[in-house]
């Protein structure tokens, strides 16, 4: 998260290299007495972090008019693209998305949560606007227009630790 | 036109989810979208009064929908926005437990989120 707070640019995430023990199951030319355990750098820590969200967004892109049996419009390509772009950006910086849901105005909601401090943040892309809803546990909730340049501030708020 | 009757704060309310369970939170709780006004709602969020119905009736098809319950007292006390729940039985007689929460606006996304967080799933 520090990378996202200080610099949210998608082009320059600095993954935090971790060492990880893995078991190598490939055919080896080495004698069997040689250990099959090796150490490698793992630089893809965040890959697939929000894979479930991406999959759901792809499903929402295929929803037809009246998908809720109550007259909801289909979700526009533009709305899906905005949600996908933010999902990708957050994944690159290690920020998980709890869930995503379509809504009755053709919107898509991304729900980000921090179990440690109880805060949650909903970012909602409507066909004609985008909003951010701050839901703390001990303060008054707040709604703002979503501004991508404020994303580091939003993530700092969400991941605040005392 | 007769004045509508206000639903007592002690009542509990049922709200049904979308017709696809995968749109719910992965832990089975309601998303804020469940409590979002629809364009056709004319500013009145449909609910059922728990004491006038059963979970089976309120959910309709439990294979497709989840059912959530919510305290009307919480609805009346939520944030600074003044919400009121009115008894609103459907004129065709198909749902005598029907009520509406009035006072929400489509532009607001705080109240739907708060209602979702305050709701509890009813297992049917």
The pLDDT value recorded for residue B58 is 97
CA A142 to chain centre: 21
Is any Cβ of chain B less than 8 angstroms from the Cβ of A72? yes
Contact partners, residue A39, CB within 8 Å, separation at least 6: A19, A20, A21, A22
The pLDDT value recorded for residue A23 is 36
pLDDT above 50 (res A107) = yes
Residue of A nearest to B65 (CA): A68
Strand ranges (DSSP E) for chain B? 12-16, 44-49, 67-71, 84-87, 98-102, 120-122
Closest-CA distance of chain A to residue B42, Å = 13
pTM for this entry: 0.83
The pLDDT value recorded for residue A44 is 53
- Copy the structure tokens of residue B52: 């006038």
Question: Which of A85, A133, A62, A55 shows the shortest CA–CA distance to B33?
Answer: A133
For range B43-69, the mean pLDDT? 95
Question: Which of B113, B29, B19, B109 shows the shortest CA–CA distance to B68?
Answer: B29
Is any Cβ of chain A less than 8 angstroms from the Cβ of B94? no
Interchain pair B117, A103: CB under 8 A: no
Q: Which of residues 85-124 of A touch B (CB under 8 A)?
A: 98-99, 101-105, 107, 109, 111, 120, 122, 124
Give pLDDT tens digits for A54-74: 999 999 999 999 998 889 999
Interchain pair B33, A71: CB under 8 A: no
The pLDDT value recorded for residue B21 is 74
pLDDT above 80 (res A13) = no
Closest-CA distance of chain B to residue A99, Å = 6
Contact B5, B86 (CB under 8 A): yes
What phi-psi label fits residue B42: left (phi over 0), alpha (psi between -120 and 50 degrees) or beta? left
d(Cα A126, Cα A62) in Å, to the nearest integer?
Answer: 17
Q: Which residues of B touch A69 (CB under 8 A)?
A: 19
Confidence of residue A27 (pLDDT cuts 50, 70, 90): very low
Contact partners, residue A43, CB within 8 Å, separation at least 6: A15, A17
Residue with tokens 């105005």: A105
The pLDDT value recorded for residue A46 is 66
Is any Cβ of chain B less than 8 angstroms from the Cβ of A137? no
- Copy the structure tokens of residue A19: 């060492």
Closest-CA distance of chain A to residue B4, Å = 25
pLDDT above 50 (res A89) = yes
Confidence of residue A36 (pLDDT cuts 50, 70, 90): low
Mean pLDDT rounded to a whole number for chain B: 93
Interchain pair B114, A101: CB under 8 A: no
Percent of chain A topping pLDDT 70: 72
CA dihedral A136, A114, B28, A102 (to 10 degrees): 80
Residue of A nearest to B19 (CA): A68
For range A71-91, the mean pLDDT? 97
pLDDT above 90 (res B79) = no
Q: Which residues of B touch A142 (CB under 8 A)?
A: 110
């Amino acid at each position: 998260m520090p990378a996202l707070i200080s610099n949210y640019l998608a082009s320059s995430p600095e993954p935090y290299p971790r060492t990880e023990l893995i078991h190598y199951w490939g055919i080896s030319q080495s004698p069997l007495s040689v250990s099959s355990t090796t150490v490698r750098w793992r630089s893809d820590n965040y890959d697939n972090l929000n894979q479930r969200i991406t999959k759901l967004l792809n499903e929402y892109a295929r929803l037809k008019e009246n998908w809720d049996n109550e007259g909801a419009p289909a979700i526009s390509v533009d709305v899906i693209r905005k949600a996908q772009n933010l999902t990708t950006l957050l994944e690159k910086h290690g920020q998980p998305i709890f869930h995503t849901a379509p809504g009755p105005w053709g919107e898509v909601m991304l729900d980000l949560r921090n179990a440690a401090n109880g805060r949650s943040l909903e970012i909602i892309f409507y066909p004609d606007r985008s909003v951010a809803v701050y839901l703390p546990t001990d303060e008054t909730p707040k709604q703002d227009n979503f501004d991508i340049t404020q994303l580091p501030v939003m993530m700092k708020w969400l991941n605040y630790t005392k | 036109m007769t004045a509508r009757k206000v639903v007592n704060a002690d009542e509990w309310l049922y709200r049904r989810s979308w017709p696809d369970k995968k749109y719910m939170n992965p832990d089975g709780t309601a998303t804020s979208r469940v409590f979002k006004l629809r364009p056709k709602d004319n500013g009145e969020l449909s609910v059922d009064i728990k004491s006038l119905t059963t979970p089976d009736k309120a959910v309709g098809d439990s294979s497709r929908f989840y059912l959530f319950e919510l305290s009307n007292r919480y609805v009346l006390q939520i944030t600074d926005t003044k919400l009121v729940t009115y008894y609103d039985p459907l004129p065709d007689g198909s749902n005598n437990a029907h009520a509406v929460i009035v006072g929400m606006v489509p532009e607001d996304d705080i109240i739907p989120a708060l209602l979702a967080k305050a709701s509890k799933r009813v297992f049917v």
